[in-house]
Amino acid sequence: MLYNVVEIQKILPHRYPFLLVDRITEMTPGESIVAYKNISISEPVFQGHFPDHPIYPGVMILEGMAQAGGVLSFKSMGEMTEEEIQSKVVYFMSIDKAKFRVPVTPGDKLVYKISVMKQKGTVWQLEAKAYVDDKIVAQAELKAMIVDK
């Protein structure tokens, strides 16, 4: 484990119920990151999506991949103090080629694998994939920029 949820909250501004990364398990700055979220029936989203057939929404999977990509982007910008990190935020500019392959349900461990496709200055282009039990459930190309708050 590289970062637990408390340490992730020092990097990302997201909080419950919208912090969608539980743990970072691997990271090579400037290259890739592996993170996960445990999907529980107690997630607030399952109250309406869908009460009798709970499916974790694809947009939430995309957001979780984006959040993992945000950690990778921040940690790839060189050493920043906690104060410097707090003064910046990652804005996502585009989500392309999104595909949802398999439904994600309560009890699944959703693993995000994000890799850098291209980086120029504060702009990052990322290849994002999400897995459950080593089977790809979603994928997309994400573009993000780190900006001052």
What pLDDT is recorded for position 36?
Answer: 98
pTM: 0.96
How many domains in the chain?
1
User: Residues 76, 132: contact at Cβ < 8 Å?
Assistant: no
Q: What is the pLDDT of residues 85-111, one digit of tens each?
A: 889 999 999 999 999 999 999 999 999
Phi, psi of 23 (to 5 degrees): -160, 145
Q: Over the chain, what is the mean pLDDT?
A: 95
Instruction: List, in sequence order, every residue forming a beta bridge with 38; answer none if it has no partner.
Output: 109
Residues that are catalytic: 49
- Give me the residue label for tokens 């699944």: 108
Note down the domain range covering 141: 5-148
Cα 100 to the center of its chain, rounded Å: 15
DSSP three-state, residue 116: strand
CATH number at residue 46: 3.10.129.10
Tens-digit pLDDT profile for residues 61-81: 999 999 999 999 999 988 888
Listed residue (103, 112, 18, 100) closest to 54, CA to CA: 103
